[in-house]
Copies of this chain bind each other. A is one copy, B any other.
């Protein structure tokens, strides 16, 4: 078993290739070509654990990802590993000590993939809701990949919003300003909605990724019910994603949901007045894609 350090992983990242691999994983997932393990959760007073796994018949490796978050002195700290196993022999081939970073990066890449799929032509501004590590990565990757010039930041904690604005070359803004951005990305740990239908203009483009476990919600159900919703996995999103609330309340029929892999495969377009939400719960297939992509360059 090879142990791969975070430094080696970081050196082996290739944003363009990894993004293409993650985009392909959405398409493969939707067409049923990739196995996506049921999501495992554990939740304790100061930490939680997410386990995801994925693999493709005929590929040399499958992966199991353990990603933990803990809140230490008010800050969220990520830890974790990715286990790579041989699809042929079942042997554990490698342990990637990614400390949760591959999860954070594939999630930011998924934001950019979702944002590209739904952006209106001429999009220039990016609105970021949230101020954590994931919000920072989302701001950097989405702005870079879509060539967005202006980054507007809103967070509950003004000091953290200011720090993030400095880190990514953005500006602290009101929630109203963020909601008027061409692309809005929400990545908070909210358990009650932050964005309401009244705040968000028609035609908004929202990437929501905070709802990755039961009980989390960033968007008012009325906003979700008024929008075209694109899930990474319909099954996972109905179970614990952002749109699950609206579906369970009967405000949004499950039959109206799209899946990101389908939108990517068909290059589907949306009307200028359509509010479009990409609901990201995170797939084992994405973890598998980025781990395989990185591993292929670790020689």
Contacts and interface: CB of A to CB of B under 8 A. Distances in A.
A66 B37 contact: no
A92 B64 contact: no
A42 B70 contact: no
Interface residues on A, range: 35 or more
B42 A40 contact: no
A40 B64 contact: yes
A78 B54 contact: no
A21 interface: no
Copy tally for this chain in the complex stands at 2
Given A35-B42, A45-B57, A97-B1, A90 B78 contact: yes
A79 interface: yes
Interface in A72-116: 72, 77-81, 83, 85-92, 95, 97
Given A37-B42, A40-B38, A90 B64 contact: no
A92 B81 contact: yes
A210 to B, nearest CB: 18
Given A42-B54, A49-B90, 14 more contacts: A1-B97, A38-B38, A38-B39, A44-B55, A46-B87, A46-B89, A49-B62, A49-B85, A66-B92, A69-B90, A70-B91, A78-B90, A79-B89, A79-B91
Interface of A: 1, 3, 35, 37-49, 51, 53-55, 57, 62, 64, 66, 68-70, 72, 77-81, 83, 85-92, 95, 97
